[in-house]
Each structure stands twice: as structure tokens, then as C-alpha cells.
Amino acid sequence: AQKVTQAQTEISVVEKEDVTLDCVYETRDTTYYLFWYKQPPSGELVFLIRRNSFDEQNEISGRYSWNFQKSTSSFNFTITASQVVDSAVYFCALSEAGYSTLTFGKGTMLLVSP
């Protein structure tokens, strides 16, 4: 069975601080995909990244970066120089190869104050 754990329920930072959102996953599959989504107060899910299990290269996209470590089953997400607009709930999710259903973590609410 798959499981995604986001231990941080809520994080509060002040603008311009860096913040890391943790994600730990469990799966028995050797091929799987990991995702991060942002859910602003309006509710829609904004896709941020998808990473397959064979690609452990870290990725950077602007102020966002992701650290994938299979050895610790973690896929952490860092926002550099956070901004108020980054305030949202962030979900980490996992899917098995060949399936489009996602198993979501419980989400981390990020509050960035001015």
C-alpha cells in the first residue's frame, strides 16, 4: 500500500525567509511518480512538479527547488525567499506507474506574512 506523510501541518514564515516542506513516502513499487501541488484558498490544485522514481536529480524552477532522495524516501520542497503569494496548502502525492490515481499527503499549510 502507498502512503504519503507530510509531518508539518502548518508552517508560518516571514516574507523572504526560505522554507522547506517535507514529504516522506512509502511504496513497494520500484517505478512510481511523485508530485507536488499547491492549493490556494480558492481551492484549485496547481501542479508544481512530477518526478519519476528513476530520476533522482534535484530540480530548481525559479524560487522553487525539490530534493528527491530515494535512500530516505523523501521528496522535499523548498521555497527560497518566500512571498505572501506563496501562502497556500501544499500537497505531496504519489502514484504508481501505470495508474493515474494519486495518493495525497495531508498537506502542509504555509502562511507567509509580510
Interface residues toward another protein, by CB under 8 A: 33, 37, 42-45, 47, 50, 91, 95-102, 104-107, 109
Shortest CB 72 distance to another protein, Å: 22
Between the alpha carbon of residue 27 and those of residues 2, 10, 21, 48, 110, the distances in Å are 5, 25, 20, 21, 26
Pairwise CA distance, residues 31 & 97, whole Å = 6
Coil/strand/helix, residue 97: coil
Shortest CB 81 distance to another protein, Å: 27
Shortest CB 97 distance to another protein, Å: 7
Looking at the Cβ atoms of 80 and 104, the one nearer to another protein is 104
